[in-house]
Amino acid sequence: MRRILLVEPAYRNKYPPLGLMKISTYHKLKGDYIQFVKGFNYSFRRQKWDRIYISTLFTFFWKITLRTINYYLNSVTSPRDIFVGGVMATLLRDEFEKETNVRVVQGLINQPGILNPDDRCIVDELIPDYKILDETEYEYGLKDAYLGYATRGCPNHCDFCAVYRIEPFFEHYLPIKKQVRGIEEIYGSKQNLVLLDNNVLASEKFERIIGDILDLGFYRGATLNSKMRYLDFNQGLDARLLTPKKMTLLAKTAIRPIRIAFDFISMKDTYVSCIKLARDKGLLHLSNYILYNYLDTPQDFYERLRINCVLNEKLGIKIYSFPMKFIPLNAKDRSYIGPNWNRKLLRGVQCILLATRGVVGPRMEFFEAAFGSTPEEFIKIALMPEEYIIQREQYKNNRAYDWKQIYQKLTINQRNHLLNILSNKKVEESDLKGVKSTKLHRILAHYIEAERLTKEAARRRRKTLEELKG
- The domain spanning residue 259 has which CATH number? 3.80.30.20
The reply to whether 171 and 69 lie within a common domain is no
pTM of the model as a whole? 0.92
Radius of gyration of the CA atoms of the chain, in A: 25
Which pLDDT does position 328 carry in this prediction? 95
The reply to whether 267 and 305 lie within a common domain is yes
CA 210 – CA 203 distance, rounded (Å): 11
Identify any residues that bridge with 155 across adjacent strands, giving them in sequence order: none
The reply to whether 176 and 41 lie within a common domain is no
CA 243 – CA 260 distance, rounded (Å): 12
Going across the sheet that includes 145-148, the strands are 145-148, 192-195, 231-233
Please state the domain count of the chain: 3
Among 76, 71, 111, 67, residue whose Cα is nearest residue 5 = 76
CA 252 – CA 406 distance, rounded (Å): 55
Is 161 inside a domain boundary?
Answer: yes
The reply to whether 96 and 235 lie within a common domain is no
Is 80 inside a domain boundary?
Answer: yes
The reply to whether 105 and 166 lie within a common domain is no
Is 351 inside a domain boundary?
Answer: no
Which pLDDT does position 467 carry in this prediction? 65
The reply to whether 264 and 299 lie within a common domain is yes
Which pLDDT does position 455 carry in this prediction? 86
Is 105 inside a domain boundary?
Answer: yes
How many CA atoms, within 13 angstroms, populate the side-chain half-sphere of residue 83? Answer: 20
Question: Tens-digit pLDDT profile for the chain (470 aa)?
Answer: 999 999 999 999 989 999 999 999 999 999 999 999 999 999 999 999 999 999 999 999 999 999 999 999 999 999 999 999 999 999 999 999 899 999 999 999 999 999 999 899 999 999 999 999 999 999 998 889 999 999 999 999 888 888 988 999 999 999 999 999 999 999 999 999 999 999 999 999 999 999 999 999 999 999 999 999 999 999 889 999 999 999 999 999 999 999 999 999 999 999 999 999 999 999 999 999 899 999 999 999 999 999 999 999 999 999 999 999 999 999 999 999 999 999 999 999 999 999 888 999 999 999 999 999 999 999 999 999 999 999 988 998 999 999 999 999 999 999 998 998 898 888 888 888 878 889 999 999 999 999 888 888 778 778 776 766 66
Q: How many Cβ atoms sit within 10 Å of the Cβ of residue 460?
A: 10
Which pLDDT does position 470 carry in this prediction? 60
Which pLDDT does position 350 carry in this prediction? 96
Q: How many Cβ atoms sit within 10 Å of the Cβ of residue 77?
A: 11
The reply to whether 396 and 459 lie within a common domain is yes
Domain closes at, from 363, 379, 414: 363
The letter for the amino acid at 188 is: G
- State the first-to-last Cα distance of the chain, in angstroms, to the nearest integer: 47
Phi, then psi, of 171 in degrees rounded to 5: -100, 120
CA 134 – CA 424 distance, rounded (Å): 46
Which pLDDT does position 468 carry in this prediction? 66
Among 147, 111, 127, residue whose Cα is nearest residue 14 = 147
The reply to whether 398 and 279 lie within a common domain is no
User: What kind and span of H or E run contains 321?
Assistant: strand 318-325
Is 352 inside a domain boundary?
Answer: no
Q: Write the DSSP assignment of 202-232 as a string of letters.
A: G-TTHHHHHHHHHHTT-BTT-EETTEE--EE
Which pLDDT does position 149 carry in this prediction? 96
The reply to whether 99 and 154 lie within a common domain is no
Q: Write the DSSP assignment of 259-289 as a string of letters.
A: EB----GGGHHHHHHHHHHHHHTT--EEEEE
Among 22, 234, 283, residue whose Cα is nearest residue 130 = 22
The reply to whether 110 and 226 lie within a common domain is no
Identify any residues that bridge with 56 across adjacent strands, giving them in sequence order: 86
User: What kind and span of H or E run contains 34?
Assistant: strand 33-38
The reply to whether 16 and 146 lie within a common domain is no
Is 245 inside a domain boundary?
Answer: yes
Q: CATH code at 112?
A: 3.40.50.280
Distance of CA 391 to the CA centre of its chain: 25
Q: What is the DSSP letter of 131?
A: G
Which pLDDT does position 87 carry in this prediction? 95
**What are the C-alpha distances in Å from 432 to residues 370, 381, 409, 412, 415?**
30, 22, 18, 19, 15
Using a CB cutoff of 8 Å and minimum separation of 24, what contacts does 28-31 make? 28/129, 29/121, 29/126, 30/2, 31/1
Which pLDDT does position 469 carry in this prediction? 64
CA 74 – CA 62 distance, rounded (Å): 20
Q: How many Cβ atoms sit within 10 Å of the Cβ of residue 316?
A: 9
Q: By residue range, what is the domain housing residue 55?
A: 3-125
Contact 13, 57 (CB under 8 A): yes
Is 324 inside a domain boundary?
Answer: yes
The reply to whether 309 and 392 lie within a common domain is no
Is 342 inside a domain boundary?
Answer: no
Among 292, 226, 282, 293, residue whose Cα is nearest residue 254 = 282
Task: Check the CA dihedral 291-295-301-305 and report its sign.
Answer: negative
SS3 category, 442: helix
Among 189, 150, 134, 141, residue whose Cα is nearest residue 24 = 134
